[in-house]
Amino acid sequence: MTVSLNSPHRTTKATASWAVWLGLLPFIIFGLAFEFLPLLTVITSSLTTKGSFTLKFYQQAMDPLFLRSFGNSIQLSATTAFLGVVFGTLVAYAIITTKNRSIQNALTALSDVTTNFGGAPLAFAFIVILGSTGVITLLLKEVGISLYPNFRIYSISGLTIAYLYFQLPLMILLAIPSLYGLKREWHEAALNLGASTFRYWLEIALPILFPALMGEFLLLFANSFGAYATAYTLTGSDVDLITIRIGALITGEVQLAPELADALAIISLLIMIICVIGYMRLSNLSNRTRQ
């Protein structure tokens, strides 16, 4: 790792060992100014009242009103993460077992492009197809299924479909390397020993993939939990998700103690970070067991 080619300079190197850190200074200052200090402000503010330590804002954050927002966010994230994992793995498997290389590459590229596609324009596109006069709504009405008024694109169930648009491609990108870890010989060996393909998946492939799939579930969960733009475009501040609620507190649409918004933000942050760390642990674990 260390550069030891020009050993005559070793003395200067010893004095310069801290000086090389100066090169990272712009980056570190940026991180302090726009990442660390802002976050620290939120943390300390959520824990202090009139200069002394308090947990009262966290107690207030446990109000049934906010618990419902957290509950909705968790439910939406868990549903879209689960559906994303199931369908994403299925599509990824279809992609990697496709014999035509260029179809394979095109589909991977499509997933690559569309993972970044969430947000306002896409949410609007879903109003066009699934709104009360959307093309899919009309098509289903034609065959005798009326979506409205039971389903609304502006509700949690509508958000589930819109969120899948960015969850699914993300899962495909994550699942492709995991699925390549399954060796073809395992499948053949299982078939030779008399197992059906179904039993191979149930008893061999899925248990091997399980840690990776769990990790990917957590990452998709976090991806959806932190999302704001899609929900805001579809529903304004009507839908009761925790990010929407924090957003409304920031813009002043709703007036509450600012420290309460800080406490809600920190709880959301903890949920996100637990998921992301869980993902990293589980993906390391599954990488190691595969080798």
Partner 1 sequence: MKKSNELWRPVVIGLFLVFMILPVIATLLFSVSTRWDHTLWPEGYTLDWWKDVIARREFALTIKNSFLASFGTMVCLLVLVTPTTYWMRLKVPQGKSIIELMASFSFGVPGVVLALGLISFYSNVPLPIINHPVILIAACMVLALPFMYRPIVNSLDAIDFRVLTEASQSLGANGWAILSEIITPNILPGIISGCLLVFSTVFSEFTLTNLLVGTVFKTLPIYLVAFTRFDARQASALAVVSFVVAWVTSLLIIWVTSKSGGETAHIVGH
Tell me how far apart the alpha carbons of residues 56 and 113 are, in angstroms, rounded to a whole number: 44
Q: How far is the CB of 238 from partner 1 (least distance, A)?
A: 12
Q: Which of 77, 84, 209, 262 is close enough to bind partner 1 by CB under 8 A?
A: 262
Q: Which of 125, 195, 208, 285 is close enough to bind partner 1 by CB under 8 A?
A: 125
Q: Which of 62, 65, 139, 191 is close enough to bind partner 1 by CB under 8 A?
A: 139
Q: What is the distance, to the nearest Å, from the Cα of residue 95 to the centroid of all Cα atoms in its chain?
A: 22
What 3-state class would DSSP assign to 53? strand
Task: Kindly state whether residue 138 participates in binding partner 1, applying the rule CB under 8 A.
Answer: yes
CB atoms within 10 A of CB 104: 16
Query: For residues 143 and 193, which CB has a smaller minimum distance to partner 1 in the complex?
Result: 143
Task: Kindly state whether residue 233 participates in binding partner 1, applying the rule CB under 8 A.
Answer: yes
Give the residue from 283, 146, 99 showing the smallest Cα distance to 209.
283
Task: Kindly state whether residue 31 participates in binding partner 1, applying the rule CB under 8 A.
Answer: yes
CB within 8 Å of 247: residues ≥ 6 apart: 228, 232, 237
Q: Which of 60, 71, 86, 119 is close enough to bind partner 1 by CB under 8 A?
A: 119
Q: Which residues pair with 53 in a beta bridge?
A: 48
Task: Kindly state whether residue 133 participates in binding partner 1, applying the rule CB under 8 A.
Answer: yes
CB atoms within 10 A of CB 52: 7
Task: Kindly state whether residue 20 participates in binding partner 1, applying the rule CB under 8 A.
Answer: yes
Tokens standing for 157? 């169930």
Q: How far is the CB of 126 from partner 1 (least distance, A)?
A: 6
Query: For residues 26 and 144, which CB has a smaller minimum distance to partner 1 in the complex?
Result: 26
Q: How far is the CB of 138 from partner 1 (least distance, A)?
A: 6
Q: Which of 9, 12, 24, 253 is close enough to bind partner 1 by CB under 8 A?
A: 24
Task: Kindly state whether residue 48 participates in binding partner 1, applying the rule CB under 8 A.
Answer: no
Q: Which of 48, 86, 204, 226 is close enough to bind partner 1 by CB under 8 A?
A: 226
Report the site for partner 1 in 88-117 (rule: CB under 8 A). Answer: 90-91, 94-95, 97-98, 103, 107, 109-110, 112-117
Q: How far is the CB of 239 from partner 1 (least distance, A)?
A: 14
Tokens standing for 164? 């899948």
Tell me how far apart the alpha carbons of residues 13 and 29 are, in angstroms, rounded to a whole number: 24
Q: Which residues pair with 52 in a beta bridge?
A: 49
Report the site for partner 1 in 152-181 (rule: CB under 8 A). Answer: 164-166, 168-170, 173
Cβ proximity of 216 and 170 under 8 Å: no
CB within 8 Å of 233: residues ≥ 6 apart: 119, 120, 123, 124
Q: How far is the CB of 45 from partner 1 (least distance, A)?
A: 6
